[in-house]
Structure 1
Amino acid sequence: MAIAEWRLMRDFIPALAHRLTSASTARRQLSIILVVAVVARAITFGDPVVHVDEEFYFTTAYAWLHGATPYIDIWDRKPIGLFIVYLPAALFGLKAGIWVYQAMALASLVGTAWLIARLAGRAGWGRGALAGALAYVLWVDFVDGQGGQAPIFYNLLVIGAATLIMPRDDRGPRFLPGFAAMALMGIALQIKYSVLFEGLFFGLWLLWSAWRGGRRWSIVPLGAGLAVTALLPTALAWFAYHRIGADAAWLYANITSIAARRPDPALEQFGNLMKILLITSPLIAASVLAWLSRGVANRPVRAWLFAWLGVAWFGLLVFGSYFEHYALPVLVPLSICAAGFFGDHRSGRRIVLPLLLIGFLGGQTLLLIKRHNRGTAAQFAGVVEAIGHGPGCLYVFSGESMFYPASGRCALTRYIFPSHLGRLREEGAIGVDQQAEIERILALKPEIVVFRPPYFGERATLRAMAIQEMRRHYRLRATRPLGAQAIQIYERAAP
């Protein structure tokens, strides 16, 4: 055998073995992540009342399939892409559709966690990569990510973009993948606008890399191209509504109403933020310890990951309110950075298994508590049975928006997410006067009106007005339990 051929075989065989080993490791990681994710979320499968947000997303997609147009016939301020995500599930109808969107969410969760492991490996944190991925899978249960919240879906797009442009040691990104990354961020932007800051970070990183690489002449055309790529899905959404003469409705729902919404009380926001910090504190501590290690300064890729984490935290802080699920985007870079402590530190390797076990048990306990408080599929079916399937229209003054498609009764308003009409912080931010819209609905004499118990942040005067109408023209048809709540169902009394 010639010397050149021998050298080729000598180099090829170890490289092939490394590829096979890496592929085997990746498959093994994916299998473990999938099993843990299924077990961690099994409690929620088939439950239609996992969270009010995803109930509404499904309800909107279902109504869209049956002729309603988002922002016109059914109102919300979420981007159209989020409802498009739910369309495949809505095609299967109510019962099967719940399982379908939860399966889609599970696939997104697993894909995101797998890429967390891959990116941690690229940063040289391979020994902690699987632990970081599993931390993400388990910690989403603590922040209302156990179902189909919007970040569960767009986190996969964001980490996909990060995977395309993430630096490898001293090498910057290639720019064709950079455009692909911005396309993914553009799609993510049409699922929820809160990805804006991460998209800006990725775009500015690409521009800085071009400047550092000596391609200063390309900064302006490159920046323009990246911006157009990222904004194209949003522009297409606007244009679709412009074509039907509803661009003003799209603009108000997607832009103006967001700025018009009232902030929550400062004390409430502070309490919510403290809760998020407490929940994520183990991963924050692990990330800080990974940052303090000597390897960060010598590995640009690690510094980039921590910069991404900082931007994700900024994106959470700037929007306010601080509902628990607002932490879901932060969990992605947080889990990657925590992998550095889990793998590189002796203490991290010693505590990672107990920490993940605590995360699993704590998450399951919390899901059981939430199911007890929010209700089960059987309880939901009991309420729907009491509402009945017609004739006559339904008005859910407060309660689950899913009651509309489940009962099949018609709606008398486009504001079928009850909080839009009943919550104080929505006053002046939905395009109509809340009281006037409720009075209009009641004047149309809905056959059935549904109330959940009063909640914090509700406009008490509007509830009192509606209850007064119930006393005059309605009778209590039934009271049914839904979790810790007693749902009251009123029917219109005979004249």
Structure 2
Amino acid sequence: MDKIRDRFPVWYTPVLLLIGMALRASTFGDPNLHVDEAFYQTVGIAMHHGAIPYVDVWDRKPWGLFFFYYLIAFISQSPLAYQLIATVFVAATAWMIGRIASVWSSPRAGLFAGIVYLLWLDEMQGFGGQGPVFYNLFMVVAGWIVFRSHESLRAGRIPPSVPAAMLLAGIAITFKPTAFFESCFFGLYGLYHLSRSSIPRARLALNAAGWMVLGAVPAIAISAWYWLHGYWDIYWQAMVLSNLSKPGFLYASTMRALVTFIFLAPIIVVVPLSLATWRGEGRRFTTWWMFAALLGLLSVPNFYMHYSLPLLIPLCLYTATFFQRRIAGPLGLVALTLWSLQSSHAFDFEHTRQSQRAMAALADAIRTHDNGGDLFIVDGPPQLYILTGHRFPTPLVFPHHLGHLIEKDLSHLSTIGETRRVLGLRPGIVVMPDKPRQDPPNMEVIDAVTAYVTTHCRKVAGVETPDLLTSARMNVWADCRQDKGRPARP
């Protein structure tokens, strides 16, 4: 059995932080880095103005993710704030990976494993502030606590840090429900070793119940708040029913799964090379962790690449014994680095400048033509509401909720009903792309909005608006007439 040793140097922390900053610096200040995190930040800022997630702005993501962005907004409402904090989180996660891996390898090999984590975040769309970028730190700390405690648990001793690990795992679940599977693994792993001791069965059962309660407390507390405030039906629809009702597209999901595997393949190739010489408790622990992370990925079989970010922790832990080799280890890290960088967004500073110019141009066009009416954004950047000081005219703020057919009527609101209600308010400015961005698009919504803008408004700006993965031309329709019958201006 591996002997647990704290021998991973603290001075590796600035090394990993500097590498993380170098790989992510080109994204700093990008206001439209990715639609997901732009939305999370928008909701976090809106919460400072009284918005209640799911009630005033709807989505299926758990409350903990929005609350985290709410906390970041205390520091600054600039996108740079969450991007810098994300960098600190990924560096800390990489350091924890190295610390765990050094138990069964060497500190240098652990450092290399942490570097691979930093390199592959960009590959798997973790270049900004996706949920796992933050909660992976909670999970790796919880995993480390449980793993290092297994000998004490076998002796019938329960370190106080073990219940704390269960609470950390429970907090991670409030960022992404699929973290449930890894959380269950940590609890079961601890209980398995505790059961091998001479501890009375009643005490074992009591600890099992206590750990489950600690893991569930964060989610239960959030649910209780919505129930007590009369929003239970909306919350239940968001967290459960909408996920069960969302239609799947087998071909698209299969293609995304294949692409995910291709991007992970260079790390996966290293795994059997490590397993060839690796034995002991560390291998068993990492293997079960990988299995739990895979269950989490398969539980939501949409296979967007960032859904696989939790897999990176056990995958990187697997690589450590290979990196321990005197010559092959460093050469392997160089090969993985070169492979990663050739398809990475690192050092693309011009993209961020383009994004900043595009968002500034859209915001300026909205402010210039603001007649005091509502702003309605359809399948466009939701942060424009915050940047221009406009309220949300509908809880369906996330672009996909109006523009994507698979999101039709998944909330407690009718998608076309909400669209018609907002159009009935005669919004003064409408922002939408010149052609549908989603596949398949919700043409019922798009046609209704197109009819409104071509009848009542005129196009005052068209701005090519990139994020780090795609680009679309966003049109600003403004000076909208309040009467129904008069034609649009030329």
TM above 0.5: yes
Alignment of structure 1 residues 77-476 onto 2, 5 Å: 77-92=60-75, 94=77, 97-167=78-148, 172=153, 175=158, 176-215=160-199, 216-263=201-248, 265-293=249-277, 295-296=278-279, 299-344=280-325, 347-364=328-345, 368=348, 371=351, 376-388=355-367, 390=370, 391-452=372-433, 453-455=435-437, 456-476=439-459
1:364, distance to aligned residue in structure 2 (A): 3.3
Deviates more, 1:336-345 or 1:270-279: 336-345
In the superposition, the TM-score normalised over structure 1's length comes to: 0.89
Structure 1 residue 351, shift from structure 2 partner: 2.3
Secondary structure at the counterpart of residue 141 of structure 2: helix
Offset from partner CA, 1:29-72 (integer Å, 9 cap, x none): 11211111010001100011111111111111111101111111
CA distance, structure 2, for counterparts of residue 493 and residue 47 of structure 1: 31
Task: Report the alpha carbon displacement of residue 360 of structure 1 after superposing the two structures with TM.
Answer: 3.2
Deviation at 1:218, TM superposition (A): 3.0
* AA in 2 matched with 1:233: P
Q: 1:375 to 1:214 in 2, by over 3 A?
A: farther
Cα distance in 2 between the residues matched to 1:214 and 1:198: 27
Q: How many residues end up aligned between the 2 structures?
A: 466
Match of 2:460 among 477, 481, 493: 477
Distance in 2, matches of 1:341 and 1:427, equals 48
How much has 1:267 moved relative to structure 2? 1.1
Distance 1:275 1:371 in 2: 24
Letter in 2 for 1:488: N
CA–CA separation in structure 2 for the residues paired with 1:460 and 1:370: 34
| Aligned-pair CA distance for 1:415 | 1.1
* Cα distance in structure 2, aligned partners of 1:256 and 1:375: 39
Segments of structure 1 that go 5 or more residues without pairing to the other structure are 1-17
What is the TM-score when the length of structure 2 is the normalising length? 0.90
CA contact (8 A) 1:167 1:301 kept: no
Mapped partners of 2:232, 2:311: distance in 1: 33
Shift of 1:308: 0.6
Return the letter of the residue paired with 1:255: V
Counterparts of 1:490 and 1:448, CA distance in 2 = 6
Q: Within 2, Cα distance between the matches of 1:287 and 1:441?
A: 53
Once the two structures are superposed, residues 99-139 of structure 1 have per-residue CA deviations (whole angstroms, 9 ceiling, x without a partner) of 11111111111110000000001123434111110000111
Q: Could you tell me the percent identity over the aligned residues?
A: 29
Q: Residue 345 of structure 2: SS of its match in structure 1?
A: helix
* 1:8 alignment partner in structure 2: none
| Contact 1:446-1:492 within 8 A present in 2 as well | no
Instruction: Tell me the amino acid that sits aligned with residue 305 of structure 1.
Output: T
Distance 2:429 2:213 in 1: 48
Query: Counterpart of 1:66 in 2: which secondary structure?
Result: coil
Corresponding letter in the other structure for 1:332: I
Code of the residue aligned with 1:261 in structure 2: it is K
Contact kept? 1:404, 1:410, Cα under 8 Å? yes
Contact in 1 for aligned 2:62/2:174 (Cα 8 Å)? yes
CA contact (8 A) 1:210 1:218 kept: no
Q: Decide whether the 8 Å contact of 1:37 with 1:106 is kept in 2.
A: yes
CA contact (8 A) 2:286 2:318 kept: yes
Following the alignment from structure 2 to structure 1, what is the Cα–Cα distance between the partners of residues 356 and 181?
Answer: 38
Could you say which residue in structure 2 is the equivalent of 1:488? 475
Shift of 1:337: 1.0
1:170, 1:300 within 8 Å by CA — same for their partners in 2? no
Rate the CA distance shift 1:338–1:435 in 2: closer, same or farther, 3 A. Answer: same
- For 2:294, the aligned partner's letter is W
Secondary structure, aligned partner of 2:11:
helix
| Counterparts in 2 of 1:254 and 1:370: CA distance versus 1, 3 Å | farther
Q: Secondary structure at the match of 2:56?
A: coil
Higher share in helix = 1
Q: Which moved more, 1:248-257 or 1:327-336?
A: 248-257
Query: Separation in 1 of the partners of 2:311 and 2:268?
Result: 10
Whether the 8 Å CA contact 1:89–1:98 is kept in 2: the answer is no
